[in-house]
Amino acid sequence: MSRFRRFFPSLSVALTLGSALSGCMVIRDSYDVPPVDLPEQFQGSPALKGTLGDLSDQGDLAAPTPSTAPTAYSVPLGTALPTWWHLLGSEELNRLVDRALTRNPDLRMASLRVSQAEARYEQAFATRLPTLSTTVSGRADAPKDGTGSVSPGVDITSERAFSAGLQASYRVDLWGERKATAEAARFRVWQAVLARDDTQKTTVSDLVGSYVDYLSFQDRLRVARETKDILSEMLKAVEERMERGDATILDISQQRAAVRSVEATIPSLEFQAAQAAHRIAQLCGTTPSQLQLGSAGLDSLTLPMVLPGVPSALLLRRSDVRAAEANLLAADADIDVARARVLPTLDLSAEIGQASTHMISWLQPENRMWNLVSSLSATIFDHGAREQAVEQTRARHEELTEGYISVIYTAVRESEDALSRLSFGTRRQTLQQAAVDASQDAVDQSRDSYRYGATDYLTLLDTERTLHNNRDQLYQVIRDRYRGAVDVFSSLGGGVELSDRLPGEGKRPDDLLSDKDAGTIALPEAPAEQPRPTADLADHQPAALGTSGQATPAPVDGGWRVVLPAVYSRSALDVAWRDLQAQFGDRLNGLRLYALALQDADTPQGDGSADLARRWFRLSLGPFADKSTAQTMCSSLSRDGLRCSVSDVQ
């Protein structure tokens, strides 16, 4: 102990020096995001001129006055955006989106990248803490006194040594390098989370758009088949008239050509409808043979109406904008990391253990060993390598600043394009409907005139073709209008929860928008009640969801489980259960959905990491009494396109 007492002053000096220098950290207390000037509202917003659902016969969609405006049910934009597809009023579409949100491969991969980022953050935070290690060794050397020490004819003797020790090491974070590293890793977790949200936003938008395409092809197929039937009936009538001498062979040939022309469009439309269905199946993470779609048309959807005045600052909460913002903040923290690495480092280490040349005396007090070491080191000359590393991180930060601004301007362009598409689509639909009505009148008059011989057959045939083309074009215009609505919701960040302000001190651009619910969606009537969340289903609620909605560890029940692939965010648990119920129904009777958190809720998360606020889970179905029953269930699910594995829980 006397040696330790003599060394203690030196250790105290090192610790005191470390504490003093730690007050000179080069890292900053806050990281700022540059402000980006945005207009108060979108340029295309006034072009909507009020109620977009009012498709009157007038070509000019003037804004309705308060006395003539139709009554609409208003929904705050921030409330409607996360599940905006529910506003379209299609249960089939709701089920498809549920399946895509739980089974889309791109979304699953993005969720797993979040798990990777969280693990990297935990690694970065762990480097700020001391490390403890142990060694146990045994050694035998021969000859005892080294090579060349043995005289001729003398037996070689060996020397043995045994030791066991406990070592602790710690690098004092003098300049905040490791704190900045952990801060950068934390922002990259947010970047991964927000990138996953952006993948979800894109997946939902692509799925709804493909579904709109599919419905429009069903409408166009119906028009083509109806036209074919009408023209076929007229062909029979022309043949009867020729028998009476009132028509010619040319009339029959022309009518037959008109029938065949319409028939030729049907296979093309069927092929395009099949392509849209295949795209939907891909987005849902399944194969076309495992996905059955109905034959409804666009009239099965309800078009919500976006009222003017949506603030453009709402785009600052878009997931891709937030992801670029998080990446920018991480790069800013990287600058502090590079600056700190230029400065000296202070390392502390200690070891205590036992060592002996004989196992029998290994634990004797005289064989105890220990050491304490403090080391302050600095690089004197490295040809400017570390300074250039600082310049590299600064240049990287400037690059990401430009990228962040570019993402915002891209979001503005997409929103303006979407609003314009919706506005012009509304006008086009009004005019196209007028064209269809006029074509129908022309056909009716041509048939009467032809019946009384007042017009020739070519005129009648031409009006019929025009009516068919106008009806077919009408459904293309309606599709474009719905597509415009899809683009509006997607461009405003719909499909995910609008993100709150990113953590940490410093300026954030979304401080410009104080009300998350700025803007309104207008509906012709109150939306239908949405499916109840899983937490309200007493018989089948995941153990990870309590009545408060907070994630808690799932209780461990014995037995076997069927484990579902990938990981799920807390908000996806309800969706996953709804999707399972919709597809497998009675097969789930008596089973529960278990959600096992990847990290224990009680595990310390480090400085400020509780604001990550996103918990991720692995899901399983059970319990099963034996492995055979679980494997049978898993095989049944696999045949229907749901990958799974079997695991026991003890």
The model's pLDDT over 417-473, given as tens digits with 9 standing for 90+, comes to 888 888 888 888 889 999 999 999 988 888 778 777 667 777 878 888 888 889 999
Tell me: pLDDT of 96 over 50.
yes
Tell me: pLDDT of 598 over 80.
no
Question: Euclidean distance between the first and final Cα of the chain, in Å?
Answer: 49
Q: Which helix (H) or strand (E) holds 414?
A: helix 385-451
The residues, any chain, with a CB within 8 Å of residue 444's CB and separated by 6 or more, are none
Tell me: pLDDT of 266 over 90.
yes
Arithmetic mean of pLDDT, 510-516: 59
Which of 631, 572, 629 has the alpha carbon at shortest distance from 111? 572
Tell me: pLDDT of 236 over 80.
yes
Between 313 and 10, where is the model more confident? 313
Tell me: pLDDT of 582 over 70.
yes
Measure the CA–CA gap between 462 and 472, rounded to whole angstroms.
15
Diameter of the chain by CA atoms? Answer: 137
| Contact call for residues 170 and 348 (beta carbons, < 8 A) | yes
Model confidence band, residue 622 (pLDDT cutoffs 50, 70, 90) = confident
Model confidence band, residue 335 (pLDDT cutoffs 50, 70, 90) = very high
- Read off the DSSP letter of residue 593: E
Model confidence band, residue 191 (pLDDT cutoffs 50, 70, 90) = very high
Measure the CA–CA gap between 493 and 495, rounded to whole angstroms.
7
Arithmetic mean of pLDDT, 30-52: 69
What pLDDT score was predicted for residue 486?
92
DSSP 52-119: TT---S-SS-PPPPTTTSPP-EEEEHHHHGGGGGGGG--HHHHHHHHHHHHH-HHHHHHHHHHHHHHH
What pLDDT score was predicted for residue 520?
66
Model confidence band, residue 46 (pLDDT cutoffs 50, 70, 90) = low
The rounded percent of the chain whose pLDDT value lies above 70 is 79
Measure the CA–CA gap between 97 and 284, rounded to whole angstroms.
7
| Contact call for residues 312 and 416 (beta carbons, < 8 A) | no
Tell me: pLDDT of 552 over 70.
no
Arithmetic mean of pLDDT, 501-505: 82
Measure the CA–CA gap between 33 and 383, rounded to whole angstroms.
33
What type of residue is 448? D
Tell me: pLDDT of 259 over 50.
yes
Between 637 and 27, where is the model more confident? 637
Tell me: pLDDT of 77 over 80.
no
**Sign of the torsion formed by the C-alpha atoms of 203, 209, 211 and 214:** negative
Question: pLDDT (tens digit, 9 = 90+) per residue, 209-230?
Answer: 999 999 999 999 999 998 888 8
Between 538 and 118, where is the model more confident? 118
The residues, any chain, with a CB within 8 Å of residue 595's CB and separated by 6 or more, are 542, 543, 544, 545, 551, 554, 568, 573, 617, 618, 619
